[in-house]
């Protein structure tokens, strides 16, 4: 079962703007004038302004321009306290949310002015503010409202602002961005549902990446028996693998160039390791690890610049159940008249799985101090001589012979000093 990976945005409440004004404007720009937060009144019927200054008679109220009755009552309170009132509309703060210096200039003018009642001359444009998830740690949790957003306009947890502004929920909205100029979203794994805006249309994925990529990515998400969240962030890795595998069959001029030369032992080791692991994992229905084995084999063959038919053709046959379109096309280009689905499954030769050398860890008094590469069938005496000749080991011996050297064939060398 594939669950949905829901994305969330955060819409600011009025208390967010009060916290924002204190943190981003009043304290940084007016700390010398002693900005003070006015506590909430004890009764709901009371209306009190939000901020005052120790060295100035100006007080500030942060509210929406729609709250005309509240503004009138706060003005009355300010006048009774002998204060001058400046009203900062939340919508005005939204318009300039990424420009705190603009609001600071307005407050600076109000501090120097002697007007009793100061408010914006023009109606602000914005109505809603959405705050980047990466900034929420600076504010109280109840200062924002958490909302689902369409996952199709979110990439790697970053909201596509151009697409977002075209949606009704972001009409007349502005965004409080992080220092990188991005709006980040949070996510949760939930049941895939239209109401949670986490439904992904597979046709869109196929149109962008191809059917084989979509098919293999579904397998790559995890064990077929487990529930897992749908997350397209990793699909580029599968797409890159298919492009790299395709590239093994072509030269730099994009011409089909598969060689009939005899493969090296290293190339055959890579092939037969892939045959063994993919065959075993298919039996266990572990499709995600099969895709991983294809990726590993492709990377290793790319490193060796391998284009040998004897290596690539068996891998194409194994790839067919996973990426049938790519496999079929390559099979035809390899000169076959019948479909790749009729091809025999490659036969494992375990002789090629054996390696000629192995890295042996060297422990001195039980602690790892060095490693050495030796033949896999090295004798105990040869392993002891090679280990004791290492400069890293000589440093610990201090010119004295070791008390004992323990060689565990195929595993390790332990020196006791």
For residue 409, give the CATH number of its domain. Answer: 3.10.20.590
Tell whether the model's pLDDT for residue 95 goes beyond 50.
Answer: yes
Domain end: 335, 351, 367, which one?
A: 351
**Beta strand pairing status for 173-176 and 128-131?**
parallel
Mean pLDDT of 221-249: 83
Task: Show the tokens assigned to 352.
Answer: 């090629």
CA angle 92, 97, 10 (to 5 degrees): 105
Tell whether the model's pLDDT for residue 233 goes beyond 80.
Answer: no
Task: Show the tokens assigned to 165.
Answer: 């502004």
Tell whether the model's pLDDT for residue 224 goes beyond 90.
Answer: no
Task: Give the model's confidence band at 41: pLDDT under 50 very low, under 70 low, under 90 confident, else very high.
Answer: low
Residue 346 shares a structural domain with residue 361: no
Nearest CA to 64 out of 82, 87, 41 is that of 87
Domain end: 351, 376, 398, which one?
A: 351
Residue 43: the pLDDT is 42
Share of the chain above pLDDT 90, in %: 68
Residue 346 shares a structural domain with residue 368: no
Tell whether the model's pLDDT for residue 136 goes beyond 70.
Answer: yes
Mean pLDDT of 329-356: 92
CATH code for the domain in which residue 335 is found: 1.10.730.10
Range of the domain at 39: 1-199
The three-state secondary structure class of 261 is: coil
Task: Give the model's confidence band at 162: pLDDT under 50 very low, under 70 low, under 90 confident, else very high.
Answer: very high
- Residue 89 phi, psi dihedral angles, 5° rounding: -70, 140
DSSP conformation class of 24: I
Q: What is the pTM of this model?
A: 0.62
pLDDT digits (tens, 9 = 90+) for 138-159: 999 999 999 999 998 998 899 9
> What is the C-alpha separation between 357 and 410, in angstroms, rounded?
10
Mean pLDDT of 179-199: 89
DSSP conformation class of 414: E
Q: Does residue 206 sit within a domain?
A: no
Tell whether the model's pLDDT for residue 45 goes beyond 80.
Answer: no
236 vs 294, which has greater pLDDT? 294
- Listed in sequence order, the residues at least 6 apart from 416 whose beta carbon sits closer than 8 Å to its beta carbon are 364, 365, 402, 403, 404, 405, 406
pLDDT digits (tens, 9 = 90+) for 362-375: 999 989 999 998 88
Residue 150 shares a structural domain with residue 33: yes
Residue 133 shares a structural domain with residue 187: yes
Share of the chain above pLDDT 70, in %: 96
Domain end: 330, 351, 372, which one?
A: 351
Is residue 278 within 8 Å of residue 293, measured between CB atoms?
yes
Task: Give the model's confidence band at 357: pLDDT under 50 very low, under 70 low, under 90 confident, else very high.
Answer: confident
> What is the C-alpha separation between 51 and 58, in angstroms, rounded?
9
Q: Does residue 205 sit within a domain?
A: no
> What is the C-alpha separation between 246 and 241, in angstroms, rounded?
9
Residue 375: the pLDDT is 84
Residue 120 shares a structural domain with residue 13: yes
Number of domains in the chain: 3
Tell whether the model's pLDDT for residue 360 goes beyond 60.
Answer: yes
């Amino acid at each position: 079962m594939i669950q949905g990976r829901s994305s969330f945005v955060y819409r600011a409440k009025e208390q967010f703007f009060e916290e924002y004004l204190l943190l981003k404007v009043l304290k940084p720009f007016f700390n010398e004038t002693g900005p003070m937060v006015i506590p909430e009144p004890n009764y709901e019927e009371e209306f009190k302004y939000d901020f005052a200054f120790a060295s100035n008679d100006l007080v500030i109220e942060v509210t929406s321009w729609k709250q005309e009755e509240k503004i009138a009552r706060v003005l009355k309170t300010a006048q009774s306290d002998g204060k001058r009132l400046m009203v900062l509309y939340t919508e005005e703060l939204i318009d300039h949310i990424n420009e705190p210096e603009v609001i600071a200039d307005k407050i600076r003018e109000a501090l120097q002015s002697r007007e009793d009642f100061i408010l914006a001359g023009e109606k602000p444009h914005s109505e809603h503010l959405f705050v980047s998830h990466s900034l929420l740690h600076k504010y109280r949790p109840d200062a924002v409202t958490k909302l689902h957003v369409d996952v199709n306009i979110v990439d790697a947890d970053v909201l596509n602002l151009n697409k977002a502004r075209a949606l009704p929920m972001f009409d007349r909205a502005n965004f409080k961005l992080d220092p990188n100029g991005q709006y980040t979203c949070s996510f949760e794994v939930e049941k895939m549902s239209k109401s949670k805006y986490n439904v992904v249309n597979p046709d869109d994925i196929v149109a962008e990446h191809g059917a084989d990529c979509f098919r293999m990515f579904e397998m790559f998400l995890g064990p077929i028996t487990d529930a897992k969240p749908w997350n397209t962030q990793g699909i580029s890795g599968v797409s890159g693998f298919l492009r790299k595998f395709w590239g093994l069959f072509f030269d730099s001029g994009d011409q089909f160039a598969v060689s009939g030369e005899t493969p090296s032992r290293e190339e055959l080791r890579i092939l037969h390791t892939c045959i063994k692991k993919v065959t075993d994992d298919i039996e266990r229905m572990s499709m995600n690890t099969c895709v991983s084995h294809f990726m590993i084999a492709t990377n290793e063959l790319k490193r060796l610049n391998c284009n040998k038919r004897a290596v690539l053709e068996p891998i194409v046959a194994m790839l067919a159940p996973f990426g049938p379109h790519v496999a079929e096309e390559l099979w035809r280009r390899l000169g076959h008249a019948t479909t790749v689905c009729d091809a025999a499954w490659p036969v494992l030769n375990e002789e090629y799985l054996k390696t000629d050398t192995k890295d042996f860890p060297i422990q001195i008094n039980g602690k790892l101090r060095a490693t050495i590469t030796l033949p896999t069938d090295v004798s105990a005496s040869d392993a002891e001589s090679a280990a004791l000749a290492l400069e890293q080991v000589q440093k610990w011996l201090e010119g004295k012979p070791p008390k004992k050297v323990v060689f565990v064939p195929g595993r390790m060398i332990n020196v006791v000093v």
